[in-house]
Structure formats: C-alpha cells, structure tokens
Amino acid sequence: MKKFIIFAIIGFFAQLIDGSLGMAYGVTSTTLLLTFGIAPAVASASVHLAEVVTTAASGVSHIRFGNVDKSTVLRLIIPGSIGAFAGACFLSNLPGDMVKPYVSGFLLLLGIYVLFRFLFIFKASEAKETKSLSAKQSIPLGLIAGFADATGGGGWGPIATPVLLAKKGLTARKVIGTVDTSEFAIAVSATLGFMISLGWEQVNWFWVAALMLGGIIAAPIAAWLVRLLPAHLLGALVGGFIILTNARTLLQISATTVTQIVVYALILIIWAAAIILAVIRGKKEKKAEVNPNSKVVNL
C-alpha cells in the first residue's frame, strides 16, 4: 500500500507539471521508475499505458479551457503515432541492462534542456498571432518527438513544446494545451507497440494503476495551477530533478563514492541557483505585465 501511495503521488505531481508546462510527465515518471530498478522497456510501457488515461483527462481539461489549436493537433497525431509505435518496438527488442545507461543519458539531456529552456528562453507572458503548424513542419516534428517519447519514456513534450513555442503562431498557453491533447494518440500508439513487442504480462498493473490515479486527480487542476505558479519555477524544479535522478543512475555504473558526492553537490548547487534565477525572472515578467513600459532583462 505504501508503494501504491508513492507511485500515485509520482503520477500526481508528474501530471501537474506536464499539464502546466506541456512536458515532463513521461520523463519524470520514467526517471523515477528507473530509480526503483525497473527495466527501461517495462518502465516506458507502464508510463505510456498510464498516459492513455491521464492524457485523455488532460486533453479534455485543456479543451474546456480553450487551450487547444485543433488543426495543429490533427497534423501532429499521425506522424507522432508512427514515431511512437516504431520507438516502442525498437526499445522492446533491446536488453534492459544494456539500454538503461543510454535511456538515462537521453533523459539527462532532456532535463538539461528543460532547465535551460525555462530559465533563458521561455516567456510565460508571450502572445502571438494565431498561425497553425504546416504539414511540412508537423511530419518531421511528430516522427522525431514520437520516437524519442517511446524510447526515452518521455520526449513528446520536451521536444514538441519548445519547437512550437519557438514558432510564430501560437500562444504559450495554446502550445501547452495542444501538446498535451495530441499526446493521447502518442500514448496509445506507444502502448500498442510495447504490448505487441513485450506482451501484456510484462506490464506491472500495480504501477500503472497508481500512476493513473495520481494523473487523473491532477489533470483537471493543472490548468488552474499554471495560473498560480510561474512556469519558470516549475521548469527549474522539474529540470533539476530529472538531472539529479538520471545522473545518479549513470554515476552508479562506474564512478567512485567520492566522485558521486562531488557531482551530487555540484548539481544541487546549480539547481538551487537555477531556482533562485527562475524566481527572479518570474518577478521581472510579472512586473513587465503590470508595467508594459518596463523591459524584462534576460539574465
């Protein structure tokens, strides 16, 4: 029962972050499952199966809040689904012990990118004229993000969200809602790929049920939470957390105890500095919203 509650809490906070930032449910959940010693393919399969339910709940919530660009969703789901299915089949045919360091390395890079993105690039207050993603742009984006999502247990949001935010045409709020809503199709496709390759017996339904429960509870309130907590702060928190947990997995392979302590200390110091910087940036943007004549200085 204790493990069930822990996994439900993991699913709850992962969905809160994902619903607020448009990313990190898969990365956060998979990272924690790997920390518990679960094989990469089984961890990713369990997370994606849970996401079938949580992304559906999240998508409905975002649609109700008017946070979804439907044309962009339709253009992303087909290439994204193909990429996710291919990635799931690819990961399922690799030995767990061999691929685990690579998956952790991939997640570590995603964590660094998430941290950098929300500290120095992302602007929560940015607003742009509506312009949907073109078919030429959506095909490679969907294929790459879908494949990365299945192989790493997370990647749809961290790849698709920044790309859409960098493109002229969608507000940050609509990007987050669009990515979260389209992720339902990616979760379904990845799950089918894992079930065909691994079989249903490989999935631990205990973990899946716990992750689902936490995600379902969090999904309806994520859109409300984003109004209260600055996106910069959430990005810094999740990015640092992903970096710390995946660095632990990689360091345990060959690093000495002293090396591990030094690296952990450096990560914690950088993480603390990133949180402080995120709070400062958030205050500057809030001040700029109150006083449009003032300029936000990028730190």
- From 73, 86, 87, select the one nearest 184 (Cα to Cα): 73
Give pLDDT, residue 289. 61
Among positive and negative, which fits the CA dihedral 103, 106, 112, 117? negative
Residue 54 to residue 144: CA distance in whole angstroms: 22
CB half-sphere exposure, 284, CA atoms < 13 A: 16
For the chain of 299 residues, list the mean pLDDT of each consecutive stretch of 10: 81 78 72 76 78 86 82 90 88 66 77 79 55 75 85 72 67 78 88 79 77 85 68 75 80 84 93 89 71 53
Domain-wise residue ranges, the chain: 2-290
Give pLDDT, residue 170. 64
Contact 155, 27 (CB under 8 A): yes
Residue 166 to residue 122: CA distance in whole angstroms: 9
Could you give the angle at which helices 2-21 and 156-166 cross, rounded to 10 degrees? 10
Give the Cβ contact number of residue 148 at 10 Å. 22
Contacts of 90 (CB under 8 A, 6+ apart): 147, 150, 151
pTM across the whole model: 0.68
Give pLDDT, residue 263. 92
3-state DSSP of 101-139: HHHHHHHHHHHHHHHHHHHHHCCCCCCCCCCCCCHHHHH
> Cα separations (Å) of 113 from 107, 159, 289?
10, 9, 26
What b/e string do you get for 223-241 counting C-beta neighbours within 10 Å, with b at 16 or more? beebeeebbbbbbbbbbbb
Give pLDDT, residue 151. 74
Give pLDDT, residue 127. 45
**Both structure tokens of 64:** 């109700």
Coil, strand or helix at 273: helix
Give pLDDT, residue 129. 46
Give pLDDT, residue 269. 95
